[in-house]
A and B are shown apart, each in its own frame.
Chain A
Amino acid sequence: MKKQHISRYLRQTMIEGFDQSKLSDARVLVCGIGGLGSAVTFYLAAAGVGEIIMVDRDKVEETDLNRQILHFTHDIGRYKVVSAYDKLREFNPEIKLNPIPANLNESLLRSLPHPDVIVDALDNLSTRFILNEFAVNNNIPLVHAAVEGFEGRITTILPHRTACLACIYQGVPSPRTFPIVGVTAGLLGVIEATEVIKLLTHMGQLLLNKLLFIDLQSWDFDIINIEADPSCAVCGANGRKR
């Protein structure tokens, strides 16, 4: 590791057992560069994750600015991944950033370099299910979070070891514009980044088979136990394999 790198990450490498090379050698795919994705990528860049692939087809709109903290007023109309790239490049020029302004689908996922971890920072369950199936079929850990209003949920999926999204959710609710306060997305995004850092550095305990519910209005933080469904269409014994 170069001397300037040692200095940059000194305060985290002071943690006993923290191996910076596990982060600098890692490639993380972040799907969705909105409210969750802004916080996730910011902290992964800060931590020195070697390569961050960012996928989002959307452009910045004014209504995004209450929560999507990587995008500024002058970014309205620009692709979110390009806006994020500019900020993160300046923030940490030592890491590799790969912005992809495209629709997330199976063929795009297959075309990407193999990531060590995938972060689900999407805003709808139908695309989350596509990502979940790809992660399960390719045995890639998936960190999932969702937010609305003052509430959030988060879990970490290790394919064929834990419940997957199709074990948890029974289908896709009708699409709607969801209300959200920025701090909810920020907090859940930071927790997603925490899970990624712990996964890569093999430190601490992960939210495996645990769905953390957070209600910032009542300050309820509670963990619900989840189990893999043996009949799951994705990760079960007869799950879809491609």
Chain B
Amino acid sequence: MKIFIKSERRFIDVGTVKNVRELIKRLGLKEEEVLVVETDSKKLLTPDEKISPEWRIEIRKVISGG
């Protein structure tokens, strides 16, 4: 499964993942640092959400500056 890392504008192949939590872990990231989005529906995914193999997924970083 290819994941689009928005901030780096590149794709990473992560193989098969069951859910969002596993995906984030596979990428070596922390749940509090990223937002995971299903590209076609433009929907924000929660960590428990199951990932369908046909989905296109993108990772966006959490920002909190003011």
Contact = CB atoms under 8 A, between A and B. Distances in A.
A169 B63 CA distance: 10
Interface residues of A, number: 38
Interface centre among A32, A122, A128, A148 (most CB of B within 10 A): A148
B66 interface: yes
Interface in A189-229: 211, 213, 222-227, 229
A32 B44 contact: no
B14 to A, nearest CB: 19
Contacts of A223: 42
A88 B37 CA distance: 40
Interface residues of B, number: 18
A171 B63 contact: no
A124 interface: yes
Contact of B42 (A148, A180, A224): A224
A48 interface: no
A185 B66 CA distance: 7
A34 B32 contact: no
B66 A147 contact: yes
B10 interface: no
Given A224-B44, A229-B46, A171 B32 contact: yes
Contact of A151 (B32, B42, B63): B63
A170 B47 contact: yes
A123 B60 CA distance: 18
Interface of A is mostly: mixed
Interface of B: 30-33, 35, 37, 41-44, 46-47, 60, 62-66
A128 B65 contact: no
Contacts of B31: 170-171
B66 A169 contact: no
A153 interface: yes
Contact of A178 (B30, B32, B65): B65
A102 B42 CA distance: 39
A168 B66 contact: no
Interface of A: 32, 34-37, 121-125, 128, 145-149, 151-153, 167-173, 178, 180, 185, 211, 213, 222-227, 229
Contacts of B44: 168, 211, 224-227
6 contacts: A37-B66, A146-B66, A168-B35, A169-B32, A178-B63, A180-B65
B63 A224 contact: no
A122 B62 CA distance: 14
Contact of A153 (B42, B47, B63): B63
A146 B35 CA distance: 14
A35 B64 CA distance: 12
Contact of B64 (A123, A167, A226): A123
A124 B64 CA distance: 5
Contact of B63 (A34, A147, A170): A147
Most chain A CB neighbours (cut-off 10 Å) among B32, B46, B64: B64
